[in-house]
Amino acid sequence: MSIELLWLMVAAGLITYASRVLPFVLLKQTDQPFLRHAGRQMPAMILTLLVLYSLADVNLLPGQWQQAQGLPLLIPALLAWVLHWRWRNVLLSILAATGCHMLLLQWAG
């Protein structure tokens, strides 16, 4: 790998990081209620959209549940929800749901 490519990757990473952090740094001192509300609610809204998008193709017909778009997506999503609701531990929810998803994919495939 050339040194120019390495510097280009470092620059792209720094620019990406700055574009993610800069709004929080600049708006941290703001006193606008809408921005505070959006900052609190946006992560949950984005995760809800991602979950709904990933579950949009789940086929709930009994003969289709064991395919890759059925139970291997629905059960881990429900498991993550239950674990997070009960213990409020993000790491536990992510790891358990990911492991469950991988096991179900191996079983269904």
Q: What is the pLDDT of residues 16-56, one digit of tens each?
A: 999 999 988 887 777 888 877 887 898 889 988 988 898 88
Closest CA to 108 of 64, 78, 57, 77: 64
Confidence of residue 10 (pLDDT cuts 50, 70, 90): very high
- N residues, the chain: 109
Q: How far from 81 is each of 12, 76, 88, 104, CA to CA, in Å?
A: 35, 8, 10, 17
Q: Record the pTM.
A: 0.60
Q: Domain ranges in the chain?
A: 47-108
Which tokens is 83 given? Answer: 């674990």
Question: Is residue 90 pLDDT above 60, yes or no?
Answer: yes
pLDDT tens readout for residues 50-79: 888 988 877 777 666 556 677 788 899 999
- Through-space distance between the first and last CA atoms of the chain, rounded to whole angstroms: 38
Question: Is residue 1 pLDDT above 80, yes or no?
Answer: no
Contacts of 81 (CB under 8 A, 6+ apart): 93
| pLDDT at residue number 86 | 96
Cα-trace Rg, the chain:
20
